[in-house]
């Protein structure tokens, strides 16, 4: 199965099918899928990834902040107001990173750091969980707390692009598999 076959299948989706299929590429932000749909046809999976990255970069800072605010806290809980907000994709990604089976100590530290981060920046800490484990996530959170708001907005959007790229690659593959 080639990249070309998967992309051809994506290009053949109706607009409705495309938006439904890609609606969770950017966490709880289906407008990204609608915009991406308008950019077809794609030449490769990387072309889809690059097109989405360009869309995210073109958003006004307030819209980029909204994209970040749509994410839940890492290892969030109902007490954090995250009940029912964790998408299946995020749950799978956080589980793979070990975030859904934290020790009591790590959970307490992550909760405290998440709170400090949101108080400082106004949006949740976003990191590509699939590329990290608990220790690196905690270290990254501590380090990024020292950033400026502008730097952190850029860092958060860069992480959204990583998450989205992984999800796009999976969707391109699975779209071909389902045809």
Q: What is the CATH number of the domain that holds 15?
A: 1.10.3330.10
**Are residue 43 and residue 125 in the same domain, yes or no?**
no
- Cα-based distances in Å from 26 to 1, 31, 102, 107: 26, 9, 25, 25
Lowest-pLDDT choice from 75-89, 131-145, 148-162:
75-89
- Tell me the mean pLDDT in the region 31-55: 97
Q: Are 37 and 52 in contact (CB under 8 A)?
A: no
Residues 110 and 95 in one domain: yes
Distance between start and end Cα atoms, the chain: 12
In whole angstroms, give the CA distance from residue 16 to residue 30: 12
Active-site residue among 24, 71, 144, 167?
71
How does pLDDT run across 24-33, given as a tens digit for each residue?
999 989 999 9
Q: Give Dmax over CA atoms of the chain in angstroms.
A: 49
Q: Does the annotation count 71 as an active-site position?
A: yes
Rounded to two decimals, what is the model's pTM? 0.90
The pair of structure tokens assigned to 153 is 């907005």
Number of separate domains in the chain:
2
Judge whether 125 and 138 are in contact, CB under 8 Å: no
Decide if pLDDT at 77 tops 90: no
Q: What share of the chain is helix, strand, coil (3-state, %, to 5)?
A: 70, 0, 30
Query: What pLDDT does 2 receive?
Result: 60
DSSP secondary structure letter of residue 72: P
Query: Are 100 and 61 contained in the same domain?
Result: no
- Domain range for 87 is 72-162
């Amino acid at each position: 199965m080639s990249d070309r076959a998967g992309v051809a299948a994506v290009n053949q989706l109706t607009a409705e099918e495309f938006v439904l299929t890609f609606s969770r590429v950017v966490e709880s932000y289906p407008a990204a899928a609608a915009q991406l749909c308008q950019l077809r046809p794609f030449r490769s999976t990387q072309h889809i990834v690059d097109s989405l990255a360009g869309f995210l970069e073109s958003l006004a800072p307030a819209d980029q902040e909204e994209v970040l605010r749509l994410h839940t806290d890492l290892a969030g809980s109902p007490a954090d107001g995250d009940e029912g907000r964790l998408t299946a994709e995020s749950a799978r990604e956080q589980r793979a990173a070990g975030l859904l089976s934290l020790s009591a100590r790590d959970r307490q530290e992550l909760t405290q750091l998440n709170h400090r981060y949101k108080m400082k920046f106004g949006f949740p800490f976003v990191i590509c969980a699939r590329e990290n484990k608990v220790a690196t996530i905690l270290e990254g959170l501590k380090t990024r707390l020292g950033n400026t708001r502008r730097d952190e907005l850029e860092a958060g959007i860069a992480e959204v692009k990583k998450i989205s790229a992984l999800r796009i690659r999976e969707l391109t593959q699975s779209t071909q598999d389902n045809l």
